[in-house]
Amino acid sequence: MKTPANRIGILATLLVVCGWLSFTASSSADMDIQKQAKAAGVEVKNCQTCHTVALPKKGEGQNELNDAGKWLVAQKDAKKAAKVDGAWLKDYPGNKK
């Protein structure tokens, strides 16, 4: 028979695993945007291509966007897209010389 301590341990383990899975899913979205941009031929070195900080915190990303990031969000709204596509950076006017 399982004791209450065993049940608490199992519950805690499940909560940690679920939290870890949800965190990694949200983090990979930013990496997908970078991969899309690189595949389109855009030079992307890190998150600061679109953000003002090197590693934006979850939930605060909208407040930490630079001009390219704001442009991408505007493109997402204009195209009525579900999410930003990193390939759009090839059309970013700030890249033109």
Predicted pLDDT of residue 53: 82
Tell me whether residue 86 is in a domain.
Answer: yes
Predicted pLDDT of residue 26: 40
Tell me whether residue 1 is in a domain.
Answer: no
Predicted pLDDT of residue 20: 60
Quote the number of domains for the chain: 1
Predicted pLDDT of residue 40: 92
pLDDT in tens, 20-75: 655 544 433 467 888 999 999 999 888 888 888 877 777 665 668 899 989 999 99
Tell me whether residue 49 is in a domain.
Answer: yes
Tell me whether residue 88 is in a domain.
Answer: yes
Tell me whether residue 16 is in a domain.
Answer: no
Tell me whether residue 15 is in a domain.
Answer: no
DSSP string, 53-97: SSSPPTT-GGGGB-HHHHHHHHHHHHTT-SS--GGGGGG-GGG--
Predicted pLDDT of residue 27: 39
Predicted pLDDT of residue 29: 47
Residue 57's domain spans which residues? 29-95
Predicted pLDDT of residue 85: 93
Tell me whether residue 57 is in a domain.
Answer: yes
Predicted pLDDT of residue 46: 86
Pair of tokens at residue 88: 């759009």
Tell me whether residue 48 is in a domain.
Answer: yes
